[in-house]
C-alpha cells in the first residue's frame, strides 16, 4: 500500500452504535422539520410570531458573518418552496439541506439493519460530500469579503 492509499484508506462502515444513529437522527430531524414551523424575512426568523434572537456569535462579537450565516433562513425558505430566495440567502443551503435529508434515510437504514456491513463506498462518498461542503462554506465566506 503506497502513501496515498494509506492516507485515504477507510475501513468498512458497520451499522453498530444505535445511540449514535439515534442522536444524529434526532438532530437531523430537528434541522429538517423545524423550518416548516418557522417564517423568515431577510433579517430574522420567527416562530409563531415571536422573533428568534440572532445566535451567530461571530456576528455579535466581531460584527461580521460566519460561513454558516443565513443557513437557517435558507432552510426556512426551502421548506416554503422559495428555492431561488434560499439560494440568495445562502449559496449552499439547498445542498446542505438535501444532505441532511439523505442522512435521515441513512440513519433509519442503519437503525433497521444493525450489524450490516455497508462497505467502503459510503465512507468515501460521505467524506467527499462533507469535505466539499466545508470547502464550499469557506470559499463562499471568503468571497463575501471581496
Helix boundaries (H) for 12-69 = 18-33, 57-62
Whether the pLDDT of residue 93 is over 90: the answer is yes
Tally of domains in the chain: 1
Residue 10 is assigned to a structural domain of this protein:
no
Residue 100 is assigned to a structural domain of this protein:
yes
Across 35-44, 54-63, 89-98, which has the greatest mean pLDDT?
Answer: 89-98
Residue 7 is assigned to a structural domain of this protein:
no
Residue 4 is assigned to a structural domain of this protein:
no
Whether the pLDDT of residue 102 is over 60: the answer is yes
- pTM comes to 0.81
Residue 120 is assigned to a structural domain of this protein:
yes
Residue 45 is assigned to a structural domain of this protein:
yes
Residue 73 is assigned to a structural domain of this protein:
yes
Q: Which residues partner with 14 through β-bridges?
A: 117
Distance between CA atoms of 19 and 54, rounded to whole angstroms?
31
- The residue range of the domain holding 43 is 17-143
Residue 6 is assigned to a structural domain of this protein:
no
Specify whether the CB–CB gap between 108 and 25 falls below 8 A.
Answer: yes
Amino acid at each position: 500500500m503506497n502513501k496515498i492509499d494509506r492516507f485515504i484508506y477507510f475501513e468498512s462502515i458497520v451499522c453498530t452504535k444505535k445511540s449514535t444513529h439515534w442522536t444524529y437522527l434526532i438532530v437531523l430531524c430537528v434541522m429538517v422539520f423545524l423550518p416548516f414551523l418557522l417564517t423568515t424575512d431577510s433579517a430574522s426568523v420567527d416562530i409563531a410570531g415571536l422573533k428568534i434572537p440572532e445566535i451567530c456569535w461571530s456576528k455579535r462579537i466581531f460584527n461580521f458573518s460566519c460561513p454558516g450565516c443565513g443557513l437557517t433562513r435558507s432552510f426556512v425558505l426551502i421548506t416554503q418552496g422559495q428555492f431561488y430566495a434560499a439560494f440568495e440567502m445562502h449559496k449552499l443551503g439547498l445542498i446542505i439541506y438535501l444532505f441532511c435529508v439523505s442522512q435521515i434515510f441513512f440513519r433509519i437504514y442503519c437503525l433497521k439493519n444493525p450489524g450490516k456491513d455497508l462497505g467502503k463506498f459510503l465512507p468515501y462518498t460521505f467524506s467527499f460530500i462533507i469535505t466539499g461542503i466545508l470547502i464550499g462554506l469557506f470559499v463562499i465566506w471568503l468571497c463575501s469579503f471581496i
